[in-house]
């Protein structure tokens, strides 16, 4: 039912300071973001390295759902988002196992979600969502134009870059011996 952990969401009071910390100090690459007026908050996706992502959340008004969470602290982990290939199957499985959830939303092809309250998930707010991960990350951290792999020379051999099914890409550095072994293995498969 669950494909992977997509991201960890961190709620913060001081968005500019947190944005600077994650991007300028830790090297996160900003991806999609939006300000959600009805719920009075802003979200910002960021990629860290090849396959790790986080989401910054910050209140934008006096009546944000984040206000209570941030009442006694400057920030903290708010929720984790788990990707599923079929939100309705996930919903049915939760129903069959009497696991309560809330805020089921179907926004069409680009996003479907539901939440499991921390009291029902061992202290963790869990968001289960169906989406295409590459739709939410910056262009420089994903493979271009449906390319599945790319090979480029480096000083010791090559970099072999693959599109990851969970969005983004993963890079393998291969030395000359590993390249020869890979070529041999591929030939044996033909």
**Which residues, in sequence order, are CB contacts of 90 under 8 Å at separation 6+?**
1, 2, 84, 114, 128, 130
Q: Supply the pLDDT for residue 61.
A: 85
- DSSP reduced 3-state for 47: strand
Partners of 28 in the beta sheet?
none
**Domain check: are 116 and 170 in the same one?**
no
Q: Supply the pLDDT for residue 15.
A: 97
**Domain check: are 162 and 97 in the same one?**
no
**Domain check: are 155 and 120 in the same one?**
no
**Domain check: are 83 and 44 in the same one?**
yes
Instruction: Indicate the DSSP class of residue 137.
Output: S
Q: Supply the pLDDT for residue 145.
A: 80
Q: Supply the pLDDT for residue 69.
A: 95
- Digit-coded pLDDT (tens) for 36-71: 888 899 999 999 988 899 999 999 987 899 999 999
**Domain check: are 129 and 158 in the same one?**
no
**Domain check: are 56 and 104 in the same one?**
yes
**Domain check: are 47 and 118 in the same one?**
yes
Q: Supply the pLDDT for residue 23.
A: 97
Regions of the chain short of the pLDDT cut 70: none
**Domain check: are 102 and 148 in the same one?**
no
Which structural domain range is residue 98 located in? Answer: 2-136
**Domain check: are 89 and 109 in the same one?**
yes
**Domain check: are 167 and 130 in the same one?**
no
The CATH number of whichever domain residue 38 belongs to comes to 3.10.180.10
Asked whether 175 and 189 are in contact (CB, 8 A), the reply is no
**Domain check: are 28 and 90 in the same one?**
yes
What's the total number of domains in the chain?
Answer: 2
Q: What is the pTM of this model?
A: 0.86
Q: Supply the pLDDT for residue 79.
A: 98
């Amino acid at each position: 039912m669950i494909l992977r952990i997509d991201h960890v969401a961190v709620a913060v009071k001081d968005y500019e300071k947190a944005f600077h910390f994650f991007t300028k100090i830790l090297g996160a690459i900003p991806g999609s973001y939006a300000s959600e007026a009805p719920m009075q908050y802003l979200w910002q996706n960021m990629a860290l390295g090849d396959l790790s992502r986080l989401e910054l959340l910050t209140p934008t008004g006096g009546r944000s759902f984040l206000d209570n969470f941030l009442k006694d602290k400057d920030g903290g982990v708010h929720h984790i988002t788990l990707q599923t290939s079929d939100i309705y199957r996930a919903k049915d499985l939760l129903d069959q196992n009497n696991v309560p959830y809330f805020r089921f939303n179907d926004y069409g092809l680009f996003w479907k979600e539901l939440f499991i309250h921390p009291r029902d998930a061992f202290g963790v707010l869990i968001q289960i969502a169906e989406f295409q991960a590459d739709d939410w990350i910056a262009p420089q951290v994903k493979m271009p134009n449906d390319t599945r792999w790319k090979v480029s020379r480096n000083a010791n051999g090559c970099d072999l870059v693959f599109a990851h099914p969970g969005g983004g890409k993963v890079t393998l550095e291969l030395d000359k011996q590993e390249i020869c072994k890979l070529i041999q293995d591929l030939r044996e498969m033909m």
